[in-house]
A and B are shown apart, each in its own frame.
Chain A
Amino acid sequence: MPSLPTISPEEEAKAKAKDGTSVGSFDAPTAGSRDEATIAYYLMLGDDALILGQRLSEWCGHAPTIEVDLSLANMGLDLIGQATHLLGGAAGAMGEGRDADALAFHRDVLDFRNCLMVEQPNDDFARTMARQFLYSTWHHMLLGRLAGSKDGHLAAIAAKGVKEVAYHRELASDWVVRLGDGTEESARRMAEGLDWMWRFVPELFHVDEDLQKVIDAGIAVDPREFEAEYREAIAAVLAEAKLTVPDDQRPILGGRHGHHSEHLGHLLAVMQFLPRAYPDAKW
């Protein structure tokens, strides 16, 4: 074999430690091992992570400073990793040779279950941070509880993810404070970003019939349990940022059962282009 740079055994060990195939593999979903509602829950969380990771990756090479570029990429990588595990779990349970990629790249809008917030375009850094702050705070509270799920695989994914997301929440909160209480311009942009995202907050706490089933089964977390805590946490950061909590807007729902904003179709068109254009190819 022609020579390429060698990897040290130490580095290989690290790579293996980072490769999450070990996450909860003792209980990895196999065909028929999960009911429809549980699969839908895997998809919901997996799609959230995938779509938000995709959005964050759009920043790569274009952030306000190199340091911020690295931070955004780190969050994107965490989320793409989580998506891989969650969609892999859903695919395993669905069977018929599906894998995470089949779900990520070969479903259309109607089958994506992510919330509307994560698919919102990046726009400026303030709107990106508003989205990250509102979602990560929820995500963090959710994963902390989900680590106790009766679904062992899901619990393992959550236990790993909660550490990553704690940092996303912290970083996004810090940015909200700096932009909110920075210059006049940054305060205006931050307020606009929050205003854009605010109508999508209620969807995070909406419980439909499918979700209720998995909550009752002890698999999913009931987000209503921590809604008050969430509202308080958001208000506390916004107070530090000298921003007012936006007035509640009419909730926009639909993402969890495939009725999305116009933005998701464009995101998928870009993301899925290669596997769609070359259906027989392996990469």
Chain B
Amino acid sequence: MYTTELDKQPEKKNVTPIDGAEDPALVEAFEARVAADEFIEPKDWMPEAYRKTLVRQISQHAHSEIVGMLPEGNWITRAPNLRRKAILLAKVQDEGGHGLYLYCAAETLGTSREEMIEALHSGKAKYSTIFNYPTLTWADIAAIGWLVDGAAIMNQVPLQRTSYGPYARAMVRVCKEESFHQRQGYEAMMHLMAGTPEQKRMAQDAMNRWWWPSLMMFGPPDENSPNTERSMRWRIKRETNDELRQKFVDITVPQAEYIGLTVPDDALAWNEEKGGYDFGEIDWEEFYAVVRGEGPVAKERMKARRDAWDKGAWVREAADAHEAKKRAAAAA
């Protein structure tokens, strides 16, 4: 998953208490079940705030998968050989599948896919900031697989044990399929770094452009992440943004070094004491600008999604009309 803390402003909110109108005995029983690592299923009683938070989180995750098809999709027709073409098409198709699984999981909470898609298209719903950057060269495809899927996996693996059953099961499927995404990206990067000077230049340039946006994928720093505590208690979030970001940096830096890529961060240094890397300050102004919809290709991404949906309307209607005719004929 991608962070779902995509509020437009870095504001500090108090943790909202569970709606007072709810029966305290039900709330208590619910909290006890979650605390006992039980799964909550669609028809079980749940606090409204839990339902709302989940719909928001799962649908944002789904939107990210679907919008995320676009930057990589941009290179399918230009993949440099048949093997890479098949890999990329299969990979982007997988992301579509992930979006589908997640929309279905969210639908069990009583919100239709149609409503979620409309919220995305109207700009009301958010998706991961990372997909608002353009893919300029083939190396961007390598960088996305390696860094972006790498960051996503870091978030997704713990969610296989999230408290909401349908979400957890969707994540099990997603994680199984993800296992090749990051590897194919890193492998493509290895080939570039073992290639011609032009290929190396492409690779380093992609690294320079995708590194910081990848770190932003984990969301705002913990002190600006107001709902973390409650989400952790509800097991719809399993580790904090900063913990995951640190983990990602620690794992990824040696991978970059191994193939001769430079991480574009002067402040990057191994910290023996904490057993991890210190790294530079993230440009949060940039992050919030992109959240506000001001990413370099935000308009292109939204237009592509709206076009696909609007131009597909007649197809969806036609199939329904056909089914209605068949049913009418069968009834007659």
B318 with A66: CB separation less than 8 A: no
A281 with B195: CB separation less than 8 A: yes
Knowing A2-B255, A73-B92, A280-B196, say if A186 contacts B314 (CB, 8 Å).
yes
A281 with B312: CB separation less than 8 A: no
B255 with A70: CB separation less than 8 A: no
Knowing A64-B315, A66-B100, say if A4 contacts B255 (CB, 8 Å).
yes
A77 with B317: CB separation less than 8 A: no
A70 with B76: CB separation less than 8 A: no
For the complex, give the distance between the alpha carbons of A59 and B83 in Å: 19
Looking at chain B's contact residues, the main secondary structure is helix
B255 with A77: CB separation less than 8 A: no
B321 CB contacts on chain A under 8 angstroms:
182-183, 186
Which of A64, A84, A100 touches B311 (beta carbons < 8 Å)? A64
The reply on A27 being an interface residue by CB < 8 A is no
A7 CB contacts on chain B under 8 angstroms:
179-180, 183
Binds A, one of B42-50, B66-74, B268-276: B66-74
The reply on A185 being an interface residue by CB < 8 A is yes
A181 CB contacts on chain B under 8 angstroms:
322, 325
Interface residues of B in 287-332 (CB under 8 A from A): 304, 307-309, 311-322, 325
The reply on A93 being an interface residue by CB < 8 A is no
Looking at chain A's contact residues, the main secondary structure is helix
For the complex, give the distance between the alpha carbons of A273 and B78 in Å: 7
The reply on A259 being an interface residue by CB < 8 A is no
A183 CB contacts on chain B under 8 angstroms:
314, 317-318, 321
By beta carbon, the residue of chain A nearest B324 is A182
For the complex, give the distance between the alpha carbons of A281 and B203 in Å: 13
Query: Whole-angstrom distance from the CB of B154 to the nearest CB of chain A?
Result: 10
For the complex, give the distance between the alpha carbons of A155 and B90 in Å: 26
B81 with A63: CB separation less than 8 A: no
B322 CB contacts on chain A under 8 angstroms:
177-179, 181-182
Which of B83, B192, B251 touches A2 (beta carbons < 8 Å)? B251
By beta carbon, the residue of chain A nearest B181 is A5
A5 with B318: CB separation less than 8 A: no
Interface residues of A in 169-185 (CB under 8 A from B): 177-179, 181-183, 185
Knowing A69-B96, A70-B96, say if A63 contacts B80 (CB, 8 Å).
no
Query: Whole-angstrom distance from the CB of A283 to the nearest CB of chain B?
Result: 4
Query: Whole-angstrom distance from the CB of A271 to the nearest CB of chain B?
Result: 6
The reply on A274 being an interface residue by CB < 8 A is yes
Q: Tell me which of B86, B182, B320 has the highest count of chain A C-beta atoms within 10 A of its own C-beta.
A: B86
Interface residues of A in 52-74 (CB under 8 A from B): 54, 57-58, 60-70, 73-74
B66 CB contacts on chain A under 8 angstroms:
66
For the complex, give the distance between the alpha carbons of A34 and B85 in Å: 28
Query: Whole-angstrom distance from the CB of A125 to the nearest CB of chain B?
Result: 5
Which of A1, A2, A73 touches B93 (beta carbons < 8 Å)? A73
Knowing A61-B73, A70-B93, A73-B89, say if A101 contacts B78 (CB, 8 Å).
no
Knowing A61-B70, A101-B81, A179-B318, say if A5 contacts B188 (CB, 8 Å).
no
Which of B93, B304, B314, B316 touches A69 (beta carbons < 8 Å)? B93
Q: Tell me which of A50, A65, A181 has the highest count of chain B C-beta atoms within 10 A of its own C-beta.
A: A65
For the complex, give the distance between the alpha carbons of A183 and B321 in Å: 6
Contact with B along A79-101 (1 / 0, CB 8 A): 01101100100000000000011
The reply on B218 being an interface residue by CB < 8 A is no
The 9 closest A-B pairs by CB, nearest first: A64-B312, A182-B318, A186-B318, A73-B93, A61-B73, A2-B255, A61-B69, A283-B80, A274-B80
Q: List 11 A-B contacts (CB under 8 A).
A: A7-B180, A50-B82, A60-B73, A61-B96, A64-B308, A68-B315, A77-B93, A84-B82, A125-B315, A183-B317, A189-B314
Question: Given A66-B99, A84-B82, A274-B138, 15 other A-B contacts at CB below 8 A?
Answer: A61-B70, A62-B308, A65-B315, A66-B100, A69-B96, A101-B82, A124-B311, A179-B319, A181-B325, A183-B314, A273-B78, A274-B79, A275-B81, A280-B196, A283-B80
